[in-house]
Chains A and B, each alone.
Chain A
Amino acid sequence: MTREEIYTRLTEQFHESLFEKSDEPFNEFITVQADAWFDIAKYLKNDPELYFDSLMCMSGVDFGPKDDTMEVAYDFHSMRHLHKITTKITGPREDFHIPSVESVWRIADWHEREIYDLFGIIFDGHRNLKRLLLPDDWEGHPLRKDYEVQEYYHGIRVPKIKPKKLTP
């Protein structure tokens, strides 16, 4: 199935206003509303024609305080039909909630924990949403654009290092 066919199939099943399609070449993705994401995810997994049984990758993106948006991208692949799709969910930088798909694809467990760890995006319905890589008592989420390194960590001083200006 091509992306067009997948898009048509999704809009037949769900309401069309939930989806938004990008028409850029080589950058094909479908943007999904966060509220309906869990039902759509279950449909993507269980429908025999789509059958996306593999969640290949999950990525978080922070576009900075200027745009005030964050994004999570999901890359799916079907082992049976050998087709692919990318879906994205966008939202605000503060208090961004997304339904967890950890119960649909088990691999999403660690992916979601990592994205929570580094971006602070909250996945509702995750059974064990805590930090994956950093220590539990770490302050802040390091991959956010406005992240500032803490001064002390358990009495260890963290030196402030100013970025060097590049000379032309």
Chain B
Amino acid sequence: MGILENKFNDNIIVGQMDKLIGWARSNSPWYFQFGLACCAIEMMSTAAARHDFDRFGAMPRSSPRQADVMIVAGTVTMKMGLRVRRLWEQMADPKYVISMGSCATSGGPYWQHGYHVLKGVDLVVPVDVYVPGCPPRPEALLEGLMKLQEKVKRQKTLAKIEE
């Protein structure tokens, strides 16, 4: 929102506007379509007909500039970590990150012996929701997306944030 962001005193009009913006944002979490490992298979399965990501308004976008949510699905290696950060930097605000699976969260099975694996994608980009599992079931990813929707709805866009 740039120049309007967090500039207004909280009153009934600004509050309602914030609710409206939060409702609109939370119901169109277009996610950035990229998978890194086996979690991507579950993500594809979530997007397919049976679990149907679309009913939350989540559409796969192939470009970071059109996406709102980045689902880091899979093992992030050191080499890929730099690319993930660059892709995240290319996304337009507001942007959110879901860390899917134990590899993206903490390194997972590569915690001890994976010399090349990033020990958690939060070393590179800020993460909003962690989804545990190896890999998580589609239901778990849906739960993660719903948690993110709750978070986005609570966010104040126009109203001043009290320190």
Which residues of A pack against B, CB within 8 Å? 134-135, 142, 147, 149, 153-154, 156-159, 161, 163-164
Contact = CB atoms under 8 A, between A and B. Distances in A.
A134 B119 contact: no
27 contacts: A134-B79, A134-B116, A135-B78, A135-B79, A142-B115, A142-B116, A147-B115, A149-B115, A153-B78, A153-B81, A154-B78, A154-B82, A156-B78, A156-B81, A156-B82, A156-B118, A156-B123, A156-B124, A157-B123, A158-B78, A158-B119, A159-B119, A161-B111, A161-B112, A161-B119, A163-B112, A164-B112
A71 to B, nearest CB: 22
Nearest to B81: A156
Contacts, number: 27
Contacts of A157: 123
A142, A147, A159: residue with the most chain B Cβ atoms closer than 10 Å: A159
A164 B111 CA distance: 12
Interface of B: 78-79, 81-82, 111-112, 115-116, 118-119, 123-124
Contacts of B118: 156
A19 B124 CA distance: 53
A134 B81 CA distance: 13
Contacts of A149: 115
A153 B124 CA distance: 11
B107 to A, nearest CB: 9
Nearest to A157: B123
A157 B123 CA distance: 8
A119 to B, nearest CB: 14
Contacts of B116: 134, 142
Contacts of B82: 154, 156
A163 B123 CA distance: 22
Nearest to B119: A159
Contacts of A135: 78-79
Contacts of A164: 112
A20 B139 CA distance: 61
A161 B81 CA distance: 19
A86 B88 CA distance: 49
Contacts of A161: 111-112, 119
Nearest to B123: A156
B40 to A, nearest CB: 20
A138 to B, nearest CB: 8
Which 5 A-B residue pairs are closest in the complex by CB-CB distance? Answer: A135-B79, A149-B115, A153-B78, A142-B115, A159-B119
Contacts of B111: 161
